[in-house]
């Protein structure tokens, strides 16, 4: 039975019908608004070998970056968790494409971001996927592995947000990422090995080049100058040897062709002289060559020894990144901590 209210001649059943219609329309509008404005769902970052609370905090930060800094409309996390904790989904955590699609369908969104952080020994492995429900292929994937402090996960999660959504990240964040990346390579000993190998190979190819690569320009210049001088001296010896060698054969021909005993005697002496000269130049050239090769080996050894250790490399990275124009602080510092 419909209760009616008489108010100055207004037909109450009509009013109620109108109110009901308006309410339905409002609900529909709200539903459509939710459905239309919130095309992106971001699931919590799945933790592997890190505390769940840390993963949840990082997830919160990630969503904050996507909504506030990048400006994407995202579905509230409560709704997402509600779906994940329901009977239709088996896992609390989701980091794979298949479950992203499952959840995306349940939520009725266009895109879903799933991710994970895995602490594998000394390495952190960060992986994120952007799944577009309409495409069968993965729209974007971001993977970044690094060695370092857990605090570095905060800027890296931010980087992942920008990468997955194909947005240009701020310069400061980019520098932080570069710093973390370089530190990671150094901490794993990769930079030390690579630097040492490069310096050694360069010095093997060109004496002094390895030292220059290591920014020891004085040593590099010294090696180059020394080897060039010795090389020039060796070349000079070779040219002298060649002249003596040719001269010897000229005198030999003259000696053979001569029938005057005095001339024969003179040419004989000339042959002896040029032969001795040739031998001397050969010996000197051998000595110089030995010196060159000894110094070459020494230069290679020095380049190898001179290469910086991991500690020195880390110090250098700290110094370099503490003087960048994009960082307002005098020293690079990660401002957030994971509670």
Partner 1 sequence: MSFDNPLDLTTAEELNIELPAIVFYPDSIPMEAGTSAQLQVFAMEVTGLSGAHIQINYEQQKLNLKSVTKGEFLNSLTDPGFFFENDTIEGLLDIYTISFGEDSLKNVTGTGSLAIVEFEATAPGKIILEYTDKCEFVDENDNPIEIKSLLYGVLDVAKKS
Q: By CB under 8 A, name the binding residues for partner 1.
A: 248, 252, 255-256, 258-261, 264-265, 268, 271, 275
| Residues in CB range of 50: below 8 A, 6 or more apart | 117, 118, 119, 150
> DSSP secondary-structure letter at 144?
E
Cβ count within 10 A of residue 64: 13
Distance (Å, rounded) from C-alpha 207 to C-alpha 285?
20
**Contact between residue 153 and residue 126 where contact means Cβ atoms under 8 Å apart:** yes
**Distance (Å) of CA 116 to CA 51, 157, 295:** 12, 10, 54
Q: Provide the greatest CA pair distance for the chain.
A: 158
| Residues in CB range of 41: below 8 A, 6 or more apart | 74, 75, 80, 103, 104, 107, 109, 111, 112, 113
Closest C-alpha to 182, from 168, 166, 194, 197: 194
* Residue 207 CA to its chain's centroid (Å): 30
Containing 106, the helix (H) or strand (E) segment is helix 97-107
- Per DSSP, the three-state class of 117 is strand
Closest C-alpha to 45, from 183, 156, 148: 156
**Contact between residue 118 and residue 49 where contact means Cβ atoms under 8 Å apart:** yes
Distance (Å, rounded) from C-alpha 309 to C-alpha 320?
16
Containing 128, the helix (H) or strand (E) segment is strand 123-132
Distance (Å, rounded) from C-alpha 320 to C-alpha 193?
20
């Amino acid at each position: 039975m419909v209760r009616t209210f008489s108010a100055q001649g207004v037909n109450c059943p009509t009013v109620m019908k109108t109110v009901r219609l308006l309410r339905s329309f409002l609900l529909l509008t709200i539903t459509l608004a939710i459905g239309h404005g919130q095309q992106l769902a971001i699931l919590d970052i799945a933790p592997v070998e890190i505390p769940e609370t840390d993963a949840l905090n990082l997830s919160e930060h990630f969503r904050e970056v996507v909504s506030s800094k990048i400006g994407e409309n995202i579905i509230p996390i409560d709704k997402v968790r509600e779906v994940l904790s329901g009977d239709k989904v088996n896992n609390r955590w989701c980091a794979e494409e298949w479950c992203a699609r499952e959840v995306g369908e349940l939520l009725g969104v266009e895109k879903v971001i799933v991710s994970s952080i895995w602490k594998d020994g000394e390495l952190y492995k960060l992986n994120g996927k952007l799944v577009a429900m309409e495409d069968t292929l993965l729209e974007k994937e971001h993977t970044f592995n690094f060695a370092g402090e857990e605090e570095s996960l905060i800027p890296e999660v931010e980087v992942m947000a920008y990468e997955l959504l194909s947005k240009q990240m701020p310069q400061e964040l980019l520098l932080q990422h570069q710093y973390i990346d370089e530190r990671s390579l150094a901490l794993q000993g990769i930079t030390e090995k690579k630097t040492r190998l490069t310096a050694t190979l360069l010095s093997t190819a060109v004496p002094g080049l390895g030292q220059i690569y290591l920014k020891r320009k004085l040593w590099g210049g010294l090696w180059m100058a020394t080897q060039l001088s010795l090389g020039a001296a060796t070349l000079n010896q070779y040219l002298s040897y060649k002249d003596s060698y040719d001269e010897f054969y000229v005198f030999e021909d003259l000696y053979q062709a001569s029938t005057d005993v005095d001339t024969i005697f003179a040419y004989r002496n000339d042959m002896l002289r040029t032969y001795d000269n040739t031998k001397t130049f050969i010996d000197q050239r051998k000595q110089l060559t030995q010196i060159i090769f000894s110094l070459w080996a020494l230069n290679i050894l020095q380049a190898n020894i001179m290469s910086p250790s991991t500690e020195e490399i880390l110090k250098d990275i700290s110094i370099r990144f503490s003087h960048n124009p994009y960082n307002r602080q005098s020293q690079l510092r990660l401002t957030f901590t994971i509670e």
